[in-house]
Amino acid sequence: MKIISYGKQYIDEADIKAILETLQSDYMTQGPKVKEFEDKVAEYHGCKYAVAFCNGTAALHGAYYAIGLKNGDEFITSPITFAASGNGALYLGGIPKFVDIDKDTYNIDITKLKENITNKTKVITPVSLAGYPVDLKAIREIINETGKDIKIIHDAAHAIGAKREGRNIVDYADVTILSFHPVKHITTGEGGMVLTNDEEYYKKLCLFRTHGITRNPEELIENHGAWYYEMQDLGYNYRITDMQCALGMTQIDKLNNSLYKRNQIAKYYEEELKNVEWLKLPLGYFSKEWLNNKKYEELKEKPENLNSYHLFPVLLKNAEERKRFFDYMRKNNIFIQVHYIPLHTMPYYKEKYGYKKGDFPIAENYYEREVSLPMYPTLTKEELEYIVKKIKEFKK
């Protein structure tokens, strides 16, 4: 069997054609494709504004900037996430505060949020890990109970297109970020995006990604002519290219199909592995009613609750068994991965902020036991059967 990775991009002729057409046009960057892609993603998620960035980390940096995070402000996030969730705030002088994860969803434990909010808390950044949509409504209700002006940045890098109780990933959040890295649901090579319904955040994000420069006549303090522009704040060169956005346009056309196939794969894993007693499967998928339809193409609406399954995380009994399983699967050309090393255990966080092992025991226990099985829409029936076969043979 050839190597099976944990995640993989899908590029077809439509994608290649779109890129070639853009290469042959008048624009390679800062052209019309960027706005077209932004509008298409915003419309898909039912929100007013979208701002594309060169990568997901830049999008997070922009999101923290837009909501007004300043030096010394605290932000709360999950310890089980990629470094970017925290780094985007650290760039602005934010102080990280972690809340342990829920043992079933692997998202931030919402029941522990309120006790960790202080007068310095500026933002809560919940992560929809692996595509399981975090309960943003419950987080918003907790914030309202405190009476504090705390913003929500939804890190939905894993959860594009997900839904919870009929609400999209932008609902209840002040801003939502997406990632278009190749292993994500859709790709622009590298890329990211911020979604929001707030016009002021939108304007700040547009400024932030282009050196803090504006050419908009309505925003200029002075105006010397059509050539004139002003740097009104310290921004960054976080722009995305037209070539990338042309790819994004064709990729998002395939998003619903990707979500459907990922849920089919999750269903297959669940049915085939539910009796493997040494393996804990993730919380059940949301979309049985969706998958029971015989023809996906006939479906007009996605289900009310939808896990977008960027990853399929499973837990073994302990760290030693996880290591043996990891090595065993790779020897059999199944390149599983681990998501994630708890952020608070990274040397930078320990040295600068005083975090230590034992601070968040549920997150640490999760990390010691977790591996992510292959999850991408082009997995074949033969590959899935092989993966399941090798898992079942692990202890024989």
Annotation: CATH topology of 4-252 = Aspartate Aminotransferase; domain 2 (3.40.640)
Question: What's the pLDDT tens digit per position in 155-171?
Answer: 999 999 999 999 999 99
pLDDT score of 290 more than 90: no
Structure token pair of residue 281: 């499967």
DSSP H helices in the chain: 13-23, 32-45, 56-66, 84-90, 136-146, 199-208, 242-252, 255-273, 288-291, 319-331, 347-353, 361-369, 381-392
Question: What's the pLDDT tens digit per position in 82-121?
Answer: 999 999 999 999 999 999 999 999 999 999 999 999 999 9
Q: Residue 116 gets which letter from DSSP?
A: G
Structure token pair of residue 154: 């939804």
Q: What is the pLDDT of residue 30?
A: 85
Q: What is the pLDDT of residue 218?
A: 86
pLDDT score of 36 more than 60: yes
In Å, how far from its chain's centre is CA 178? 5
The count of other CB atoms within 10 Å of the CB of residue 320 is: 10
pTM of the full structure? 0.96
pLDDT score of 301 more than 80: no
Q: What is the pLDDT of residue 359?
A: 98
Mean pLDDT, residues 254-282 taken together: 95
> 129, 282 in Cβ contact below 8 A?
no
> 339, 311 in Cβ contact below 8 A?
yes
Mean pLDDT, residues 71-76 taken together: 98
pLDDT score of 212 more than 60: yes
Structure token pair of residue 36: 């077209």
Mean pLDDT, residues 208-219 taken together: 92
* Number of Cα atoms under 13 Å in the Cβ half of residue 75: 35
Structure token pair of residue 22: 């853009």
Question: What's the pLDDT tens digit per position in 350-368?
Answer: 999 999 999 999 999 999 9
Mean pLDDT, residues 46-63 taken together: 98
In the chain, % of residues over pLDDT 70: 96
Structure token pair of residue 297: 């193409």
pLDDT score of 264 more than 70: yes
Question: What's the pLDDT tens digit per position in 335-346?
Answer: 999 999 999 999
Q: How confident is the model at residue 225 (pLDDT cuts 50, 70, 90)?
A: confident
Q: What is the pLDDT of residue 369?
A: 98
Residue owning tokens 């033969």: 382
Q: What is the pLDDT of residue 288?
A: 67
Domain locations in the chain?
Answer: 4-252, 255-392
The count of other CB atoms within 10 Å of the CB of residue 369 is: 20
pLDDT score of 371 more than 60: yes
- Residue 42 CA to residue 196 CA, distance in Å, equals 9
Q: What is the pLDDT of residue 291?
A: 74
Q: How confident is the model at residue 302 (pLDDT cuts 50, 70, 90)?
A: confident
In the chain, % of residues over pLDDT 90: 88
Q: How confident is the model at residue 303 (pLDDT cuts 50, 70, 90)?
A: confident
Average pLDDT along the chain: 95
CATH architecture of the region 255-392: Alpha-Beta Complex (3.90)
Mean pLDDT, residues 274-299 taken together: 75
Q: What is the pLDDT of residue 285?
A: 67
In DSSP notation, 234-284 reads: ---B-PPBHHHHHHHHHHHTTHHHHHHHHHHHHHHHHHHHTT-TT-BPPSP
- Output 9-16 pairs: Cβ under 8 A, ≥24 positions apart: 9/182, 9/183, 9/187, 10/254, 10/258, 10/376, 10/377, 10/378, 11/187, 12/254, 14/250, 14/253, 15/247, 15/250, 15/251
